A and B are shown apart, each in its own frame.
Chain A
């Protein structure tokens, strides 16, 4: 069974610093990996989707990398802003999971002004 781990569970950085969020998974037979943002009490917003054949995806200040062989993905957020404060979750879709994603527990990020 696919297990997804996110470390650290919480992170606090001063504004302007780059954020590095880690996601690891145990089964490398993945179809894709997706990063989400969740604000308190709200639903999830899709940030980036990386297909299994891709090494990275970029959108604005966000960059996500994927290394299937080591079972890792990293989300980089450049020049963090207080508005980046949220919980970030990664989710993995394994090839034999019938469309069902496995979620990590998330990293709670606070960016202080």
Chain B
């Protein structure tokens, strides 16, 4: 299994600012993903983080708002840009390994935008 560490675990931010969330995996994963979970909702996939190239975004999410980097197999960052209160959510990093495709999650980053 993979252990995934995220930081910050929580933050309170002002409208119009940006926040970068870091995700570190303890072993090499084949794929890394970023999810958003709005209050009381299930998970929504933001994008697939691709090593050394641009992330693949899902419908409704754009690079200018959620720039993502993945410089190597075990590290990725998600930036939430020009934040508004609607961006208040839990942001979750995940990775899948090997042939089984089993998915593992970090503890999440709870973001509150005032």
Which A residues have a C-beta under 8 Å from some C-beta of B? 31-32, 34, 36, 41-46, 49, 51, 89, 91, 93, 98-101, 103-106
Contacts and interface: CB of A to CB of B under 8 A. Distances in A.
A49 B98 CA distance: 13
B43 interface: yes
A14 B5 CA distance: 35
A49 B92 CA distance: 19
B66 interface: no
Contact of A106 (B30, B42, B90, B110): B42
Contacts of B101: 31-32, 93, 99
B105 interface: yes
Contact of B33 (A31, A34, A36, A100): A100
- Contact residue range for chain B? 20 to 34
A49 B107 contact: no
A32 B43 CA distance: 18
Contacts of A100: 33, 45, 48
A99 B30 contact: yes
Given A43-B108, A100-B48, A89 B42 contact: yes
- Please report whether the interface of chain B is mostly helix, strand, loop or mixed according to DSSP: strand
Contacts of B4: 43
B1 interface: yes
Contacts of A34: 102-103
Contacts of B45: 100-101
B96 A43 contact: no
Given A43-B92, A43-B105, A103 B42 contact: yes
Contacts of B90: 41
Given A41-B110, A98-B48, A100-B33, A105 B42 contact: yes
Given A99-B31, A99-B96, A100-B48, A46 B104 contact: yes
A20 to B, nearest CB: 20
